[in-house]
Chain A
């Protein structure tokens, strides 16, 4: 059974960067893609990007290109997402999710990490 544990809440100032982690277990890490999705307070879901754990290739949504970096550590089955040049509008819960289908859906979700950007 897929299990996902995300890192704890973060508070950052505008202009800073934040790096979140997403530790997976219960399956072969390189079998499934990992997505990142965020949700601003009271708002809907926004897809940020996806990482292929086999070789580390990533694809991000156009609005995040140049600002998001996704990496992985196969030795610990952990995926990381770093978002730079933070603005107040980046305040949101950030979710990672496992995709068993091949970069088309989010079949298992982490508990989410709240990132607050405030001066």
Chain B
């Protein structure tokens, strides 16, 4: 089974900073990688699908890149409402669908 590893597990940044989160897949998954945001006490929300496509309604400060085994989620100009845990999720044909362990983003 494909494993997806996120790093760092947590980070602290200032408002306005650029934040980069990383997701590493254990084998080539092309661009089959999605990103979710989970704010405290809420259900997850889809941010980026298929590696780099911004979900409608998601602010443009969020962007995704990468393919193969290495992927990044970038938050340009961190905002207070971005405090959340971010998860990547890979897909390589059913039933091979996996979530990473998450990256918790906090304000410094």
A11 contacts chain B at the CB level, 8 A cutoff: no
Asked whether B94 lies within 8 Å of A109 as measured between CB atoms, the reply is no
0/1 interface trace, chain A 93-105, chain B, CB 8 Å (1 if under): 0010100010111
Q: Does B72 contact A (CB under 8 A)?
A: no
Measured CA separation A104–B52 after assembly (Å):
15
| A-contacting residues, B8-65, CB 8 Å | 32, 34, 36, 38, 43-46, 49, 55
User: Is B87 in contact with chain A by the CB < 8 A criterion?
Assistant: yes
- Nearest Cβ distance between residue A107 and chain B, in whole angstroms? 5
Closest chain B residue to A96, Cβ basis: B43
With A44-B99, A44-B101, A47-B99 as given contacts, are A103 and B43 in contact (CB-CB < 8 Å)? no
Interface residues on A, range: 20 to 34
A46 to B1, CA, bound (A): 14
Q: Mark A103-119, 1 if CB is under 8 A from B, else 0.
A: 11111111110000000
Distance, CA A59 to CA B93, complexed state (A): 11
Taken residue by residue from 79 to 100, chain A's Cβ proximity to chain B (1 for < 8 Å, 0 otherwise) reads as 0000000000000000101000
Which residues of A (35-60) have their CB < 8 Å from a CB of B?
Answer: 37, 44-47, 49-50, 59-60
Q: Contacts A105-B91, A107-B55 hold; do A47 and B43 have CB atoms under 8 A apart? A: no
Binding site for A on B (CB under 8 A): 1, 32, 34, 36, 38, 43-46, 49, 55, 87, 89, 91, 94-95, 97-102
Can you list 23 residue pairs at the A/B interface with Cβ under 8 Å? Answer: A44-B102, A45-B44, A45-B87, A45-B89, A47-B89, A59-B94, A61-B95, A61-B97, A95-B43, A95-B44, A101-B49, A103-B94, A104-B32, A104-B34, A104-B91, A104-B97, A105-B34, A105-B91, A106-B34, A106-B36, A106-B46, A109-B43, A109-B44
